[in-house]
C-alpha cells in the first residue's frame, strides 16, 4: 500500500473556533507548552481553531493559518509541530509463523498470555471468535475506543459514564490482521493455535481511517487514552504497527514524546521499523525511540522447517537512526503472514489477490506491522511467564497474613509468642516459617501455649486452596 495523502477536509471536535484569515489555509498543528491550559490559551489568543487536548505531552491539536503560526512561534515557551500524517506499516499469505517462533511448548504449559492485555492502536478490530474470545472461550476483547469518532463527535463518549464496549469496525483490515497475528485463538487442523498469545486480552484503539492514514494528534490521543486506562484493563503491552518519516531528533518529536510517556508508565511498547528498506537510516517514527522494542521483518522463504534460508525481508527498514542508535532491536516473521481481516475492508477490496485460496476470510500480507504483532504476542508470553514464576507470592502473601493472625489469636496469653507472630505478619512469609519452626521447637520442649500442629495444617490448607484458585484463574 503506497503512501496515502492525509485529507485536510476532516470535521473537527468542539472548542472555540474562528474563521481562517482570508486566502490563508488553516494547517493541522500541534501546539506544546508548559501545560495544556497554556497551549489552549495561546491558540485561542492567536485566533486559531482548537481541536483537542493532548495532555500526555502538555499540548493541544489545532488548525492554524501561517499568520497565526508565526504569531505563536514568536512566543517564549511555545513549541509548534506540524500535525504530520502517519501510515500503517504493512501490506503484502501461511500461518506457519508460530512454528518459526516456537510458542507451542509454552502454550502446553499454560503460558499463553492469559491476564496480559495487549493494546493495539490501529484501524480498529473485526469481531470474530479468534479475536473476540481467548482460547478458553472467555471474552478477551475487553475494551474498544475510537479516537476519530471522539474527535468528530466528542459527545459519543459521555464523560460521566464512557462506554468502551461499543463495537468499532475495521474498515481497513490492517488492525484486525495485526491483532490476529498476535492473539488469534483459532486452531489449525493439527490443534495448534494460530496466534502467538491465544490467551491474552485485547484492547482495540482505533486511530487510523479506512485508508490506513491518521494525524499525529490522533495517535497521541490514542496513546494518552491507553496510559489513562492501563490499570483499568491491565494493559502491559502497546503495539504500534505504523511508521512515519522522522523530521527531527527522536526526543523532539511529539508522537515519540507520547510513546516515551507510555514507556515511563511501565508499558512495554512494540513498534514496527517500517517498510522503507533495505536502505540504511530508514527506520521511522516511533521505531526510532531507543526505549521501545523496534521490530524488523524476516522471511522464511516459505520453508518454516528450514532456518538456514531465513533472510531479512527486503522491505524491512534498517538503521541506524540519525542519533546513532542500532535499530531494529529484533526481527520476527513478517513475510507472507496469514490472518483474517474483514472482506468489506479497503485491503480486501483493493487487493483481492491477497486472499488465501483455502479460506476467503484469510489474507496473506507482509510487513513489519505483522512482525510487530508477533513480538507483541511474545512479550505477553514473557510477562505471563515472569508473573507465573512469582505467582506463588500472591497466595503466600494471603497465607502470611492469615497464619500470623491465627498464631497471634491463639497465643494472646503469651507475650513472647504474640510478639513473634506480629513480627512475622510484618516481615513476610519466611519470617512466618521461622516463627512457626521456632514455636515447634519450643513445643517439643514442653511449651504448650499454642496449637502449632493445628496452625501448620490450617495454613497449609489455606495455601493449597488459594494457590489452586490462583492457578485456575491463571490458566
Q: What pLDDT, on a 0 to 100 scale, did the predictor assign at position 462?
A: 55
Closest CA relative to residue 333, chosen from 296, 284, 303: 296
Q: What's the mean pLDDT in 267-273?
A: 97
Map out the domains of the chain as residue ranges: 27-83, 87-388, 393-474
Contact 310, 299 (CB under 8 A): yes
Helices (H), 125-253: 129-132, 147-152, 174-183, 216-228, 230-233
DSSP H helical ranges for 331-428: 346-350, 368-390, 393-410, 415-427
- What is the rounded distance in angstroms from the CA atom of residue 149 to the CA atom of residue 127? 18
361 confidence band (pLDDT: 50, 70, 90): confident
Kindly report, residue by residue over 217-255, the tens digit of the pLDDT: 999 999 999 999 999 999 999 999 999 999 999 999 999
On the question of a common fold for 27-83 and 87-388, the answer reads no
- Residues 387-391, mean pLDDT to the nearest whole number: 44
| Four-CA torsion 373, 375, 379, 380, nearest 10 degrees | 30
355-356, strands of its sheet edge to edge: 337-340, 359-365, 355-356
Q: In whole angstroms, what is the distance from residue 57 CA to residue 222 CA?
A: 12
pLDDT tens digits, residue range 70-106? 889 889 899 999 887 776 654 323 457 777 888 888 8
Catalytic residues, by residue number, are 122, 174, 369
Please indicate whether residue 90 or residue 363 has the higher confidence score (pLDDT): 363
Right CATH for 87-388 from 3.40.50.200, 2.60.40.420, 3.30.300.210, 3.40.50.2300: 3.40.50.200
pLDDT of residue 455: 46
Query: Percent of the chain scored above 90 by pLDDT?
Result: 47
Q: Which pLDDT does position 426 carry in this prediction?
A: 47
The β-bridge partners of 145 are: 205
Greater model confidence, 203 or 131: 203
Cβ atoms of residues 334 and 312 within 8 Å: no
Q: Which residue has the cell 483459532?
A: 186
Quote the percentage of the chain above a pLDDT of 70.
73
- H or E element in which residue 456 lies: helix 452-474
* pLDDT confidence of residue 403: 53
59 pLDDT exceeds 80? yes
CATH of domain 27-83: 3.30.70.80
Amino acid at each position: 500500500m503506497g503512501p496515502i495523502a492525509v485529507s485536510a477536509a476532516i470535521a473537527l471536535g468542539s472548542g472555540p473556533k474562528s474563521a481562517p484569515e482570508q486566502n490563508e489555509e488553516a494547517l493541522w498543528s500541534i501546539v506544546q507548552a508548559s501545560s495544556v491550559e497554556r497551549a489552549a490559551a495561546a491558540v485561542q489568543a492567536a485566533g486559531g481553531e482548537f481541536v483537542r487536548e493532548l495532555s500526555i505531552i502538555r499540548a493541544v491539536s489545532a488548525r492554524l493559518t501561517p499568520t497565526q503560526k508565526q504569531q505563536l512561534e514568536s512566543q517564549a515557551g511555545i513549541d509548534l509541530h506540524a500535525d504530520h500524517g502517519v501510515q500503517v506499516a504493512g501490506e503484502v499469505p501461511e500461518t506457519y509463523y508460530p512454528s518459526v517462533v516456537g510458542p507451542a511448548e509454552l502454550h502446553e504449559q499454560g503460558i499463553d498470555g492469559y491476564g496480559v492485555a495487549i493494546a493495539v492502536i490501529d484501524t480498529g478490530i473485526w469481531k470474530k471468535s479468534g479475536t473476540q474470545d481467548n482460547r478458553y472461550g472467555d471474552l478477551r476483547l475487553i475494551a474498544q475506543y475510537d479516537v476519530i469518532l471522539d474527535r468528530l463527535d466528542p459527545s459519543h463518549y459521555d464523560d460521566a459514564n464512557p462506554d468502551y464496549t461499543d463495537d468499532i469496525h475495521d474498515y481497513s483490515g490492517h488492525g484486525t490482521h495485526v491483532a490476529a497475528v498476535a492473539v488469534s485463538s483459532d486452531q489449525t487442523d493439527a490443534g495448534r493455535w494460530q496466534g502467538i498469545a491465544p490467551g491474552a486480552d485485547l484492547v482495540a484503539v482505533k486511530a487510523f481511517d479506512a485508508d490506513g492514514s491518521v494525524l499525529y494528534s490522533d495517535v497521541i490521543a490514542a496513546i494518552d487514552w491507553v496510559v489513562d486506562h492501563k490499570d483499568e484493563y491491565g494493559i502491559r503491552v502497546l503495539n504500534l504497527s505504523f511508521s512515519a518519516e522522522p523530521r527531527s531528533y527522536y526526543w523532539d518529536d511529539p508522537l515519540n514524546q507520547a510513546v516515551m510517556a507510555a514507556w515511563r508508565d511501565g508499558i512495554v511498547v512494540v513498534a514496527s521499523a517500517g517498510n522503507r528498506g533495505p536502505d540504511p537510516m530508514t527506520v521511522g517514527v516511533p521505531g526510532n525511540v531507543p526505549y521501545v522494542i523496534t521490530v524488523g521483518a524476516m522471511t522464511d522463504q516459505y520453508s518454516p522447517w528450514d532456518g538456514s534460508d531465513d533472510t531479512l525481508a527486503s522491505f524491512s527498514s534498517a538503521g541506524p537512526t540519525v542519533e546513532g542508535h542500532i535499530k531494529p532491536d529484533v526481527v520476527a516473521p513478517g513475510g507472507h503472514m496469514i490472518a483474517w481481516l474483514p472482506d468489506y475492508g479497503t485491503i480486501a477490496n483493493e487487493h483481492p489477490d491477497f486472499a488465501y485460496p483455502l479460506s476467503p476470510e484469510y489474507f496473506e500480507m507482509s510487513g513489519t506491522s505483522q512482525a510487530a504483532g508477533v513480538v507483541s504476542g511474545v512479550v505477553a508470553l514473557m510477562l505471563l511467564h515472569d508473573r507465573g514464576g512469582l505467582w506463588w507470592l500472591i497466595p503466600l502473601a494471603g497465607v502470611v497474613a492469615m497464619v500470623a493472625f491465627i498464631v497471634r489469636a491463639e497465643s494472646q496469653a503469651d507475650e513472647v509468642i504474640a510478639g513473634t507472630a506480629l513480627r512475622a505478619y510484618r516481615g513476610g512469609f519466611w519470617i512466618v516459617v521461622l516463627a512457626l519452626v521456632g514455636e515447634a521447637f519450643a513445643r517439643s520442649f514442653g511449651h504448650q501455649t499454642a496449637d502449632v500442629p493445628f496452625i501448620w495444617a490450617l495454613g497449609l490448607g489455606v495455601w493449597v486452596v488459594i494457590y489452586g484458585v490462583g492457578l485456575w484463574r491463571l490458566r
